Structure 1
């Protein structure tokens, strides 16, 4: 219901490619607006009808686990989910980038200057203390693991989740590729630290 000038300001000021749209308030979300589509109408001199451009986005509860979130994102018309609590109040949005960071952690390019980027430390007993964000190819090289060519993960944390088939709790272990992987530390739902111990031959 915002006026054209207010909508134009929001579209030009935002750095996001998609914006959630509500009908009268935050608890009445109706979908997602693709910024470029709205700007295209404005720049061409056409009459902007926000409702006509809104695309339906799935509404999910804030209690949904990450694996189900990923499945819902895969089937969505737009890569964005609208999150509500048990009372139906709008809490925020989720994108594929949010889920990837929650599961795999930040990437090396996102590490601030001065922070360590040492992903793996060899312990005296031959086990490895591994950062969950360690690129899977680097970890495979360190541990001597032969990875399948087709895989859906890119980090050490992703390998562990793939092997467990669920988001783990601290202390959980799984055996894969001749190694036992123990989840040593979690940062929220993200696997932060992993202890990898070689299994007996």
Structure 2
């Protein structure tokens, strides 16, 4: 719940508090129902974030940058995934293998595939300092917007094409080795 914009957040609503107010017939005052959430700097390490979340009255923290601008939220699940990686139960792979090499040497890759695994398979170097862990994150980092099916980008000798979107999630990419010629965008 915020006043006017995300830089003036009052707190976080929990569905059970809203439902309880409705059952009791109380007026729905969102500001009064909002619970305060801890505010964490965007540079906090995972252990300190987990400690702050453990002590919070709600399982969520607000993340702000050095200028006090709201950057997003973090939950215990987010922190655990950052430490331990994605859990199998969180990956929607429908029994499809995450990486399939095709006869022509191209790869059909799940967006949820860890980017380190992709780099190993393709022999592609990656920056050590990066803000993503999956191939979908790599695509978002390169494109700088939510792509549409058919969009392409290039990294070195590899062309990446978004071949399947599942709503706003990059589900599948086709990755092909290309010659040194210029890449043609759709």
Shorter-chain TM-score tier: 0.5 to 0.7
Q: TM-score, normalised by structure 1?
A: 0.52
Residues 168, 97 of structure 1: alpha-carbon distance in 2 compared, 3 angstrom cutoff: farther
Name 1:199's counterpart in structure 2: 178
Q: Confirm or deny: 8 A CA contact 1:108 1:117 kept in the other structure.
A: no
RMSD of aligned residue pairs (Cα, Å): 4.1
Residues 186, 115 of structure 1: alpha-carbon distance in 2 compared, 3 angstrom cutoff: closer
Cα distance in structure 2, aligned partners of 1:96 and 1:188:
25
Shift of residue 117, structure 1, vs aligned partner: 6.4
Larger RCO (CA within 8 A; separation ≥ 6): 1
SS at match of 1:181: strand
Aligned length: 133
Shift of residue 171, structure 1, vs aligned partner: 1.0
Cα distance in structure 1, aligned partners of 2:153 and 2:178:
11
SS at match of 1:32: coil
Shift of residue 111, structure 1, vs aligned partner: 5.2
2:36 to 33, 36, 40: 33
Name 2:135's counterpart in structure 1: 156
Residues 33, 172 of structure 1: alpha-carbon distance in 2 compared, 3 angstrom cutoff: same
**1:68-102, CA deviations, whole angstroms, 9 ceiling, x for partnerless residues?**
xx98xx9339837xxxxxxxxxxxxxx6978xx9x
Structure 2: tracts of 5 or more residues without a match: 1-10, 19-25, 38-52, 181-186
Q: TM-score, normalised by structure 2?
A: 0.56
Q: Confirm or deny: 8 A CA contact 1:111 1:117 kept in the other structure.
A: no
Q: Confirm or deny: 8 A CA contact 1:179 1:198 kept in the other structure.
A: yes
Shift of residue 143, structure 1, vs aligned partner: 1.0
Shift of residue 187, structure 1, vs aligned partner: 0.9
Q: Which 4+ stretches in 1 moved above 6 angstroms?
A: 95-98
